[in-house]
Every structure is written in structure tokens, then in C-alpha cells.
Amino acid sequence: MHAITIPEPGGPEALVWDEVPDPEPGEGEVLVEVAASAVNRADLLQRQGFYDPPPGASPYPGLECSGRIAEIGSGVSGWSVGDEVCALLSGGGYAEKVAVPAGQLLPVPSGLDLNRAAALPEVVCTVWSNVFMIAHLRPGETLLVHGGSSGIGTMAIQLAKAVGAKIAVTAGSEEKLRRCAELGADILINYREQDFVEEVRKATDGKGADVILDNMGAKYLDRNVRVLAVNGRLAIIGMQGGVKGELNIGALLAKRAAISATSLRARPLEEKTAIVAAVREHVWPLVAGGRVVPVVDQEIPMHDAATAHRVLEDSGHVGKVLLVVP
């Protein structure tokens, strides 16, 4: 088969479409013939040499894919050769085939294009596990999403809207904010021109955000704590704004607030299996019913993954960028 390899870390040109050995499904795994994968910022870090795959994972980038089951490993039940699936991966999505633990498989929702299904697993599992399983967003509460036009952001808006929450988003252009509004965002904040603390407080009569989904990390830490409501929950899922920040413990105590920080890729298999099962139960009916849709900016041939990485680095996209196997 062919896969995107990284002979030496570097820029987008470091991604090489090369012939590699076929993977074999192990105990509890299936082999998926890949139709499409999606680009995530973790892939950019891996390409640069800053984010190695977990032990035992595929060395190729790609944290999600869609495709058809080509082979069933021992100990797997409930799936058949030919089933159309999408999958949460620890790596290996940028390839023509990938071995996947059966617990990380999801059926392609009814009526959804197979390629577009590749835009779902990573973002849905990230949003559901952080916003709902950890931060417990409830109907009527306010969710603040940083990077509302990203793949994570566009999914968070839709899922929060589906449960009856109020959604505030930050984005860097009026066009991106317009797209967020179309998906259901209520409070639109251009972070280049507005202070999100001031805008969220104003829109919530001074209460603040009950839950914050943050991809920035250190740069926003102090302001995130300031804009949290009493009993608020801050979920940190990224470090685009740095890794070291100063935390005012007194402000956190005064608000009886909580901070969680998670990554999905390195979680144990049993945790990923539980998240995928929850997503299938709670989110898949929303996707099948058309209430939640994957937002795809463009599809690019997988052998040209370098172009897809440049698109992500330029940050002009809305939603997900897919890599499609020709």
C-alpha cells in the first residue's frame, strides 16, 4: 500500500507519499481500506517532530478516517467485511489501509457521504468527551468556544445548540463569524478587534461562561478564568497560545470553578472505547437526522498532503480539510 511518511521532520514538504508494508489486524482489530482521512493540528506537530505517536501506534499521521472493512481480526464481532465505517485512530489515517481497534469504529451515519464521514470521529469524540462527559454542559448554560470556525469549533456549536445551550464563539474574521452564526452561534466575537471577556459578560448580564472549550492554552488562561461564571468549567484541549501561564488561584476559588486538560490520542484503549460508545449513543442519531453535519472546507488528494497542511497552517479554512484516497 501507499502512505504518507515523514523521513525527516520539517515543513509540509517533509510529507512523502511512499510504498510501505500493509498493516495486519491484530487481536480485536479490523483492517480498514481507507477512503478519506482528515487533517488535524496534531498532524502538523507530528510532521514537525513535536508529537510522536503513542507506543505501538502506526508511525504515519492521521487521527481519523473513513472507509470499508477489508479484513476482520480474531476476537471481533458485530462487524463484517464491506461495512462502511469511520474510525478514531492513534495514527495511520494518511494511508490506503489502517488497522483499527474494533472499539474505535463507528458506522457511517445513514445518508452521509463516505468521504465526509472522515471529518467526524476526532472532532466529535473531542467535543463530546470534554464538553459533555467532563464539563457537563447543560441546557440553558453558556458555552464559549475559542476558534469557533475550526473543525472542533463547528462541531461544538452544533452539539451545544442541539442540547439547548447558548453559544459564544471567537474567530478572526467577519466571514468566519458569519459561518459560525449559520451553525447556531449566538454571541460572535472577533478576537482581533474585541475583548472576549467583555463581550461574553455583556451578553450574559455579567454572569460569564459556564463552560469554555479552549484550544489556546497559556495565552488565554487568565482571561478564561476571569470570564468563567460561578461554578464554571474550563476545558483546555490545545496549546496554540503557549504552554506556560500564570493562574490566579484566588479567582478560581472565588468562582468555585474547575479546569480540566485532556488529549485524546494517548488515552488508553478502554477510555477511547467508552468515548466512542457514548458518541454512537448520543451524537450519531443527531447526525443521521441531519441536526449535526460535518463541516468540510475542501477535499485534497492524499498524496498531496503537503497542500492540505499548508491550508491548515494558513488558517483560512472553515471546518475540516479532508485527504481523499484516489
CA distances from 106 to 24, 65, 226, 273, 317 (A): 20, 10, 39, 10, 26
Per-residue confidence (pLDDT) for residue 196, from 0 to 100: 98
Contact 120, 86 (CB under 8 A): yes
Q: 97: Cβ–Cβ under 8 A, 6 or more apart, which residues?
A: 1, 22, 23, 31, 32, 33, 34, 70
Buried b (16+ CB within 10 A) or exposed e, 118-128: bbbbbbbbbbb
Distance, CA of 72 to CA of 70 (rounded, Å): 7
Mean pLDDT of the chain: 97
Residue 310: what pLDDT?
98
Residue 40, pLDDT score: 97
Note the pLDDT of residue 300.
98
Q: Tell me the mean pLDDT per 10 residues along the chain, length 326.
A: 98 98 97 98 97 94 98 97 98 98 97 97 98 98 98 98 98 98 98 98 98 96 97 96 92 96 94 98 97 97 98 96 96
For cell 464563539, name the residue: 169
> Given this model, what pLDDT does residue 131 score?
98
Predicted confidence at residue 133, as pLDDT, reads: 98
| 20/43 Cα distance (integer angstroms) | 19
Looking from the CA of 174 toward its CB, the CA atoms found within 13 Å total 0
Residue range 106-145, pLDDT digits in tens: 999 999 999 999 999 999 999 999 999 999 999 999 999 9
pLDDT at 113: 96
Q: Report the alpha-carbon distance of residue 279 to residue 308 in Å, rounded.
A: 27
